[in-house]
Amino acid sequence: MEKRGSILIVDDDEDILIAGKLLLKRHFANVVTISQPNHISSAMSKDSFDAILLDMNFGPGQSSGEEGFYWLAEILKIDPQAVVIMITAHGGVNIAVEAMKMGATDFVSKPWQNEKVVATLSAAVKLRKTRNEAATLREANRTLVEDSGSQQIIGKSEALKFIQTMIERAAPTDANVLIVGENGTGKELVARELHSLSNRAGQIFLSVDMGAISESLFDSELFGHKKGSFTDAKDDRVGRLQAASGGTLFLDEIGNLPLHLQAKLLTVLEQRKVTPVGSNQAVPFDVRVIAATNLTSKQLSDESRFRQDLLFRLNTVEITVPPLRERPEDIEEIANHYIKLYCRKYDKEYKNLSAEALAAIKEYEWPGNVRALRHAIERAVILSQGASFTASDFSLESHPASAGEVENKLTIKMDTGEEIELPEGNLNLERMEYVLIERSLKKHRYNISHAAKELGLTRAALYRRMEKYGF
């Protein structure tokens, strides 16, 4: 078995140091001993210790524990996350308890029992690992919050003003929120804004794409699993619900979840407890749930497609994000935002939209919404050569509204029996691919999972092609 963990032993008794090192080096990767507590700072600057065994008293005749208290405080000044185990003389339990109130994790009594010392330090090493992971997670969350500042909700339309009002009212509560809207409208931005204005803003915001989780891994991904519970379970794993505890869990593409898995999700949301795969012990969690879907209200009310009891659980507050075509007054501000962003990114000189280009992008329906507009802007910034952006820089005219605009047709028959007409006059593969993707997206109302399945692609592959063609 691989030895893990680094241990520091601080004691003025050389016999304790020798015995401790001989015992612990059989179980841990690194064991360092020092007899003078004033060397603690130097030792901690050279190594990162998972656990520190610290004597309560140094020098003959000492029994008050004052030295132990002092050096415990010094260790925690150096590393507030340090895991410190106090070493006490027999009968010094009261002193050890005081040390634990000051920040010590546990204590062992002299003369110690080898098995108890090893077990205590093994638990301490795991605790240190958990603290490190939590600190890393908090730092990552702070970075995400800072990065999300550049991914703001842009626009001054009445529709967005209403959404902002809804966010400001709902955010301070722990009410579940359901965000409804077409793909690319910015549902995740609304979710992040809800989180940033909530009482959980300092905690994690964890996004889970429900449409990307396979049915076989659903329980493991959301609820976690224990080591050995199935073939590939080589270690214990915390599920997403536990990982987001204390913060916000964003369930994206919730409408793509099959009915039987919707029932499982409903159960854990009602009980606020989750049982990892391979365990009999339910673990409580505390999350604020925000969900999003591109299903329409009519589709959500279809009991054969979405459980109504889960819907009631999720949509305590419902926010609808309108498509870009319904708020053309926001297009200019969004476009200018991304022009500035991509000009900086690609070190290009800033250029304005010509009147012709502005009119063209306002008139275009943008079936992929803000995401499609953003990709079109990025492509224009890279390829445009004029003094300002023109309509041709966005290639909107090269994307027909449907294959029906081409006079000569080539018809293919899908597995479903549906016939699709392709342009016969121009047998360019990319043009045909564009038509097929556009037709499938429109047919499935831009449900990426369903469109990808019909096209025989993965969701990631379809997203790449949508980006390529500016959907």
- Single-letter amino acid, residue 47: D
- pLDDT 10s per residue in the chain (471 long)? 567 899 999 998 898 999 999 999 999 999 999 999 999 999 999 989 999 999 988 866 677 788 889 999 999 999 998 999 998 876 667 888 888 889 999 998 888 889 999 999 999 998 888 888 777 766 666 665 555 444 678 999 999 999 999 999 999 999 999 999 999 999 999 999 999 999 998 888 999 998 888 888 888 888 887 777 776 767 777 788 888 888 999 999 999 888 999 999 999 999 999 888 888 888 889 999 999 999 988 889 999 899 999 999 999 999 999 999 999 999 999 999 999 999 999 999 999 999 999 999 999 999 889 999 999 999 999 999 999 999 999 878 544 443 333 344 556 555 555 666 655 544 566 667 877 888 888 888 778 888 888 888 887 788 778 877 767
Contact 318, 178 (CB under 8 A): yes
CA distances from 49 to 29, 87, 316 (A): 11, 17, 47
Contact 255, 299 (CB under 8 A): yes
Q: Which two tokens stand for residue 340?
A: 């500035």
CA distances from 169 to 109, 165, 247 (A): 55, 6, 18
* 3-state DSSP of the chain: CCCCCEEEEECCCHHHHHHHHHHHCCCCCEEEEECCHHHHHHHHHHCCCCEEEEECCCCCCCCCCHHHHHHHHHHHHHCCCCCEEEEEECCCHHHHHHHHHCCCCEEEEECCCHHHHHHHHHHHHHHHHHHHHHHHHHHHHHHHHHHHHHCCCCCCCHHHHHHHHHHHHHCCCCCCEEEECCCCCCHHHHHHHHHHCCCCCCCCEEEEEHHHCCHHHHHHHHHEECCCCCCCCCCCEECHHHHCCCCEEEEECHHHCCHHHHHHHHHHHHHCEECCECCCCCEECCCEEEEEECCCHHHHCCCCCCCHHHHHHHCCEEEECCCHHHCHHHHHHHHHHHHHHHHHHCCCCCCCECHHHHHHHHHCCCCCHHHHHHHHHHHHHHHCCCCCECHHHHCHHHCCCCHHHCCCEEEEECCCCCEEEEECCCCCHHHHHHHHHHHHHHHCCCCHHHHHHHHCCCHHHHHHHHHHHCC
Structure confidence by residue, pLDDT tens digits, 68-109? 899 999 999 999 989 999 988 766 678 888 888 899 999 988
- Single-letter amino acid, residue 277: V
DSSP helix/strand/coil, 84? strand
pLDDT at 95: 84
Q: Which two tokens stand for residue 123?
A: 């638990």
pLDDT at 412: 59
Contact 444, 414 (CB under 8 A): no
Q: Which two tokens stand for residue 416?
A: 């479903």
Q: In this structure, what is the dihedral angle of CA atoms 387, 389, 391, 392, given to the nearest 10 degrees?
A: 70
CA distances from 202 to 57, 165, 247, 266, 285 (A): 40, 22, 8, 27, 17
pLDDT at 74: 94
Torsions phi, psi for 291 (to 5 deg): -120, 160
Query: Which residue ranges form the domains of the chain, and what is each CATH number?
Result: 6-129 (3.40.50.2300), 157-322 (3.40.50.300), 325-398 (1.10.8.60), 403-469 (1.10.10)
Residue with tokens 């990631």: 460
Residue with tokens 């492509």: 379
pLDDT at 401: 42
- Single-letter amino acid, residue 255: G
pLDDT at 298: 87
- Single-letter amino acid, residue 408: N
Q: Which two tokens stand for residue 223?
A: 């609820």
Contact 337, 441 (CB under 8 A): no
Ramachandran area for residue 32 (φ above 0: left; ψ -120 to 50: alpha; else beta): beta
Contact 224, 239 (CB under 8 A): yes
pLDDT at 350: 93
pLDDT at 91: 60
Distance CA 353, CA 381 (A): 11
DSSP code, position 105: -
Contact 206, 249 (CB under 8 A): yes
Q: Note the pTM of the prediction, 2 decimals.
A: 0.60
Torsions phi, psi for 293 (to 5 deg): -155, 150
CA gyration radius for the chain? Answer: 30
Torsions phi, psi for 29 (to 5 deg): -70, -30
